[in-house]
Amino acid sequence: MSQLRSRLGRSGPDEAAPAARPAAAAGAAERDRATGGIGYTARVEAATTYTRRLLDSGSAGIKKKPVGSSIGLSAAPTWRRVKWLEQQRYITGYRAELDRRRVGLGVLAFVRVDAERNNASATRALEEAIRALPEVVACHYISGAGTFELQVVVTDLDAYSRWARETLFKLPNVKDIHTSFSLGEVKSGAALPLSHLRA
């Protein structure tokens, strides 16, 4: 049983078993099979199926009115599921997907940052400084050579050169940087692969 199914079984938006009725859920699967009724187990399966469809629709689809019909539910139970997914932090936010070129950000750079020292306080100071830079749209700790991998957007190559010299190299604890530039996007902003939830 997947984590999502287990959590829905405990605390889902509609079909959840209330905490006051744990004994009633015991043996529910056996009773369902014996009677052919649509009981607790079937309701959890239905809830999980609808919620997976909702997650598959992606963050943009979740905020659109037709999403309920696309997963086979009316508006009210669909929105209850959306609110529950938000409360449980499956959905962490919503944002518009902007075409960076249309807003004048023609350069996307992948920048590996090597730290001078890798102790906790020095790394934390560099992390906080990176987080404050608006040009950095993503940052990850990485394995292997280097400490951080940044995704940086700027208007053009001259702007990147100035930003690297005047901002990035002046951050605390930066030893060296290694930059690669995107020559064209093959795929970006894709929905997460969720086929494992259906296994």
Q: What pLDDT does residue 3 have?
A: 57
Integer Cα distance of 164 and 188 in angstroms: 24
- Does 92 map to a domain? no
How many angstroms separate the most distant Cα atoms in the chain? 73
Integer Cα distance of 85 and 87 in angstroms: 6
| Residue 71 lies in domain | 3-87
- Does 129 map to a domain? yes
Average pLDDT, the chain: 77
Last residue of a domain, one of 57, 87, 117: 87
Q: What pLDDT does residue 47 have?
A: 59
Interval 50-56 mean pLDDT: 70
Last residue of a domain, one of 87, 122, 153: 87
* pTM greater than 0.75: no
Does one domain contain both 43 and 113?
A: no
More confident residue, 17 or 199: 199
pLDDT digits (tens, 9 = 90+) for 84-127: 888 888 888 887 788 999 999 999 999 999 998 888 899 999 99
Q: What pLDDT does residue 118 have?
A: 82
Q: What pLDDT does residue 188 have?
A: 85
pLDDT of 30 > 70? The answer is: no
State percent of the chain over pLDDT 90.
Answer: 39
Does one domain contain both 75 and 150?
A: no
Q: What pLDDT does residue 199 have?
A: 59
Interval 182-191 mean pLDDT: 88
Does one domain contain both 67 and 121?
A: no
- Does 191 map to a domain? no
Is residue 154 within 8 A of residue 135, CB to CB? The reply is yes
Does one domain contain both 70 and 13?
A: yes
Q: Which CATH number fits the domain that encloses residue 177?
A: 3.30.70.920
Q: What pLDDT does residue 97 have?
A: 83
Integer Cα distance of 125 and 113 in angstroms: 14
| Domains: count for the chain | 2
